[in-house]
A and B are shown apart, each in its own frame.
Chain A
Amino acid sequence: MKCDYACGSGEHTLERRRFLGTLAGAAGGAVLGLPHMVRAAMPELAADQKRILVVYLSGGLSQLESWDPKPKTDTGGPFRAIPTSVPGTHICELLPYTAKQMHHLSIVRSVNTKEDDHGKGHYCMTTGRRKEPAADYPHLGAVAAKLLAPADLPLPGHVHIASGGGGGSSSNAAFLGPKFASIMLGNGNPPQNTTRPDGLSEAADTQRNAFRLAANEHFAKRRRTADSDAFVSSFDQAKQLMERREVFDVTKEPAADLDRYGKHEFGRHCLLARRLLESGVSCVQVNHSNYDTHYENFDFHIEQLGEFDQAFATLVADLVDRGMWQSTLLVVMSEFGRTPRINPYFGRDHWGKAWSVLLGGCGIQPGAVIGKTNDNGTEVADREVDHGHLFHTYLKAVGVDPAQKFDAGGRPIPVADPAAEAITELLA
């Protein structure tokens, strides 16, 4: 490809690609972004386009009140285990709707991240690596936006939905660059500043943009750089985003669906996640808050999982019913689990030593239980894995070779930590 940047460098070719094609067909170990890997334009969502849905339970879900109950033990708490749609697999009674969907899902009960800090645990679980002083790695969603999104996707490839009024983008793409960082939909609202200001007429806006394009063209003739391309690209993306603003409007979904998901924020956010995934967004993360239950763990898990259960189970069922399950990887994660020991305030504290993650969908064997903890959940008893193993597994599940490398300013960096490997028995 001819390079016409002012600096004469060809390396920026990689950086300017907004939506590079999937790596499913790429050779292992190849540096991503080479011209031959650019996919053809995809005007509509292809049936085999892979997507990732992360449900992030902020604060640290208790594995004992969810995926790995230990009833009638000194650590088990008051709740019972209930049977699920998978014979022999039980989960906590706080998840009756999810229990009916477990034949689509799989549990990893032997996660040991050795990390009890919120920030570090979050980093481990979302990047697959420990935080290092001299390196920063991209969030799973940024990786998905880079590797899974079609070249012509007019939407952001990486969207987070969370409570709170904030919006805008984050910095979780690391060396992949801000184009792949998550767009935050605070309170499930559309991206901020995506409507034309009331004080600006359509005619004036058109005139203003025409002037901008003319100026850009003049500038690019002699001083084009990757930065100027990124600047131009951001306007193009914003324009496309504004034209498709309704994609982010969950009220466009049928009222009956809003009822099925539950008339609360998390229900709306799960329905919005379905809408975004259907529109082709490569990674959607829905946050549910908060599970940091140092105090009255049982009361709070009743409240939080009472919201989570129906909305989440409905989302799983809908993805299956709409034919999206085989192409959508689902991961339910937190930054860590919670202590088996119940503290004096009926709380449970941070616990990265033995906890659980739920997966399902694309590339994941349904109905499996991987690993186990001991009788009262204080240690992993079999098939210990950590965030690195899980990250490899996510990538393998969506057809990405974890050994392939990103080009970070000329430095090749493996997509996943080379020290870990996928949980192969979990893969379909």
Chain B
Amino acid sequence: MNPTTTNPTAPNADPPQTHQVHEFKYASPLLACRFDPKGENVFASAQDFSIQRWNLASGKVTPLVGHESWVWTLAFHPTTGTLYSGSYDGRVLFWDSAAEAPTPMRTLEAHQGWVRTVKVSPDGNLLATCGNDNLVRLWNTADGTHLNTLTGHANHVYNLAFHPTLARLVSGDLKGVVREWDLATGEELRQFDASPLWKYDAGFQADIGGVRSMAFSADGKHLACGGITEVSNAFAGIGTPTVVVIDYEKGEKVQQWLTEKKFRGTATGLFFLASGAAIGSTSGHDGGHLLFWKLDAPNEFFDLKTPEFLRDLDLHRDGLRVAASGHGGALRVWQMTAKA
């Protein structure tokens, strides 16, 4: 799904000290999750079409009801707190996330089919969306005005990331084709290769994989694209989680993160810590894991097995907490420092 932008001034986390600090249970399996910009609440969408808001301090839960399909992706405006949610039916809804009982403020018929990712630009002006109609679209975050449609992908577009300092957007699709767009002109500038994340399984006669997670490093020098690779059985999703790391200036792959034990699963969430290390969540036949990598090594330097399969991951604005949504209906928050 879609990670937030890393806060470059956040203090350094200490991954091996990671421990759980919150667990919020819900009756339906969870999908996407996000902290709000103030870091006071955590939101998660569920397979019952709702979004749930949990207050981190009190644990109070508030439902956001309005979608008519699964909500696959969430994003916040960095200052207004407006929540943008995208669903399988092509719609993006705007919400006042801080309202006592939030209701949809605006509905965009954003895509034909599944909205895979919604993202807000670092300056808060642009909302970018992508979906199964092979399109990337840009909108005004304030009033939902459609600004541009970026065409060129030949397959479902799975993920987006705004560059943290440049007026650039990247989009990654089912076949691991990553396109770089100039936000001022809407022109495609370059393509990057993340094809290790895709395979056509001739036995199954279907494509498997895609850019399932995507993040820029805080300094914008590296772009990471996560997913599944070395698929041996598409029927059952037997493959290993991986992250393709691209040197943004050169446009070349400089690393491919894997797991030391070759876990079976998919990298479902991904972002960089302020230290330059990266954290990813995985889900698959070997369960859920929080994995931590460094740029100079292909395998993780720390692995935390989680109680259930992880569907999405988010980094708190303090840079020290992560939240993950699980198939079992639990939203968990971990602290990446030593216990007090």
Contact = CB atoms under 8 A, between A and B. Distances in A.
A59 B235 contact: yes
A82 to B, nearest CB: 11
Interface in B206-228: 206-208
Dominant secondary structure of chain A at its interface with chain B: loop
B283 interface: yes
Contacts of B104: none
B207 to A, nearest CB: 6
Main secondary structure of the interface of B (DSSP, over half): loop
A125 B28 CA distance: 35
Q: How large is the interface on B (under 10, 10 to 19, 20 to 34, 35 or more residues)?
A: 20 to 34
A78 B208 CA distance: 19
A302 B207 CA distance: 11
Interface string A157-194: 00000010000000000000000000000000000000
A302 B116 CA distance: 14
B114 interface: yes
B29 interface: yes
B327 A344 contact: yes
Contacts of B69: 78-80
Contact of A289 (B68, B204, B207, B309): B204
A345 B234 CA distance: 12
A79 B88 contact: yes
B49 A290 contact: no
Contact of B205 (A74, A289, A293): A289
A308 to B, nearest CB: 12
A373 B283 CA distance: 32
B294 to A, nearest CB: 29
B88 A293 contact: no
Contacts, number: 63
A407 interface: no
A300 B327 contact: no
Contacts of B8: none
Interface residues of A, number: 24
Contact of A163 (B205, B208, B284): B205
Interface in A280-317: 289-290, 292-296, 298, 300, 302-304
Interface in B45-91: 47-49, 68-70, 72, 87-89
Nearest to B28: A74
B113 interface: yes
B206 A300 contact: yes
Interface string A312-348: 0000000000000000000000000000001011010
A72 interface: yes
Interface string A1-30: 000000000000000000000000000000
Given A163-B205, A290-B205, 9 more contacts: A78-B69, A290-B206, A290-B235, A296-B237, A300-B206, A303-B207, A344-B308, A345-B284, A345-B309
Interface of A: 59, 72, 74, 77-80, 163, 289-290, 292-296, 298, 300, 302-304, 342, 344-345, 347
Interface of B: 28-29, 47-49, 68-70, 72, 87-89, 113-114, 132, 203-208, 234-237, 283-285, 308-309, 327
